[in-house]
Each structure stands twice: as structure tokens, then as C-alpha cells.
């Protein structure tokens, strides 16, 4: 049974929020939820950073969107970008594979780009995305590059207003924490997402 890191984190958020809607979680994990304008812009900004040339630029382009870099900051663009990897966690005789695609990696530091309308560090620090990425890629430091972006009168043109950086670090017992959460998600999927098991059997 295979899950993306984003799915594991969505499950964790639902699990830890007693008011969360399980139908919204299932729709998100089945790819049935609609992306908002901000989410579409975020995906396009990721692409813009992926294809950008090394060096400074005041304007970035991706997936038909234009991003005007308005703030006084530099965007680092390491050579190694968009790498996908996975790790298998074994629970009894059952294998659960969690895959993730990092934005950049440099040495033992993994970096992830995020876009937001308002910077809130607690959104990121308490999650499990960074733990899985460190575990999957064998890294020691996870860095978020959080870009505040704002819509303009043109729906495909956005302003990049500021950049915030956050970091978290590998700790003892992190792999065990990742394994426990993966096991919880697998048990959830067995009960409520039988299509995951069918796809596994057909593979």
C-alpha cells in the first residue's frame, strides 16, 4: 500500500482535529477535491522555481502564470531539484510505502517551497511532512521557504511579497514516529478506502 507524504499529513491533520470532516479528507485523498485559485497559483509557482535559471530574476513564469518578485529577498536555486524517493515501513507482515518529492536538496538539507497568503509558522512546525522527508531522504535538516503571494487584477499574475525561512531537525525516535503514523493511516485506509487494497492486489 502506497501513500504520498501529503496524504499522510492530511490524515494526521484530520486525526488531530475533532471538528474535521472525514468526507473532505477522503475526497482529498481520492483526488476528488477541487483546487482553489491560491492552490493553482501555488502549483504554478513551484513549476516556475523548478524551471528558473540560476541567478536573480524579478519575474518568474510557470504553467501560464506570471510571478512578480516584489520583496527584497533572494531565492536560492540549488542544482538538484524535484527528486522523488520513497521508504517502506513494515508493520507485522504488511508493507506501507510512503513517497515524497522534494523541491531541492543540498548536502544533508532538504528544502520545500510553500506559498501562502499569510505566514503562520505553526502550520508547518507541528506537522509530519518534514519528518518523513528527513527519514526518506536520509537528511538532517528540513527547511521551508515560505513565500507570501498575493493576487492581482489579472488572475494569472501574482505578486511574491516576502520570503520566510523555517527549519526543523532530525531527532532520536523520528523514524519510529513516522512508522506509527503510517500504520495508523494504513488501518484507516483498510476500513474506509478499500480501493487502495484493490489496486495493491492488482499490481
| pLDDT (tens digit per residue) in 147-160 | 999 999 999 999 99
Instruction: Give me the chain's average pLDDT, please.
Output: 88
DSSP state of 50: H
Q: Is the pLDDT of residue 58 over 90?
A: no
Mean pLDDT over residues 189-203, rounded? 62
Q: What are phi and psi of 100, to 5 degrees?
A: -150, 155
Q: Which of 70, 35, 43 is nearest to 148 (CA)?
A: 70
Q: Is the pLDDT of residue 200 over 50?
A: no
The pLDDT value given to residue 199: 47
- Which of the two residues, 55 and 77, has the higher pLDDT score? 77
Q: Is the pLDDT of residue 54 over 70?
A: no
Sequence-ordered strand ranges (E) for 77-140: 81-91, 94-106, 109-116
Least confident of 63-67, 92-96, 157-161: 92-96
- Which of the two residues, 122 and 196, has the higher pLDDT score? 122
Domain boundaries, the chain: 2-34+80-146+162-202
The pLDDT value given to residue 73: 79
Q: Is the pLDDT of residue 110 over 70?
A: yes
Amino acid at each position: 500500500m502506497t501513500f504520498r507524504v501529503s496524504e499522510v499529513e492530511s490524515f494526521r491533520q484530520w486525526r488531530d482535529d475533532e471538528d474535521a470532516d472525514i468526507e473532505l479528507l477522503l475526497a482529498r485523498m481520492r483526488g476528488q477535491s477541487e483546487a482553489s485559485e491560491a492552490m493553482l497559483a501555488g502549483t504554478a509557482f513551484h513549476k516556475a522555481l523548478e524551471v528558473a535559471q540560476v541567478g536573480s530574476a524579478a519575474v518568474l513564469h510557470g504553467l501560464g502564470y506570471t510571478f512578480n518578485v516584489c520583496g527584497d529577498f533572494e531565492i536560492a536555486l540549488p542544482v538538484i531539484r524535484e527528486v522523488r524517493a520513497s521508504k517502506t515501513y513494515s508493520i507485522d507482515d504488511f508493507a506501507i510505502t510512503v513517497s515524497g518529492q522534494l523541491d531541492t536538496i543540498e548536502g544533508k538539507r532538504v528544502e520545500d517551497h510553500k506559498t501562502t497568503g499569510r505566514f503562520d509558522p505553526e502550520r508547518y512546525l507541528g506537522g509530519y511532512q518534514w519528518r518523513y522527508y528527513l527519514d526518506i531522504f536520509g537528511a538532517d535538516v528540513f527547511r521551508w521557504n515560505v513565500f507570501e503571494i498575493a493576487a492581482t487584477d489579472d488572475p494569472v499574475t501574482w505578486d511574491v511579497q516576502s520570503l520566510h525561512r523555517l527549519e526543523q531537525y532530525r531527532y532520536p525516535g523520528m523514524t519510529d514516529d513516522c512508522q506509527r503514523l503510517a500504520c495508523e493511516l494504513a488501518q484507516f485506509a483498510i476500513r474506509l478506502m478499500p480501493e487502495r487494497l484493490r489496486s495493491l492486489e492488482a499490481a
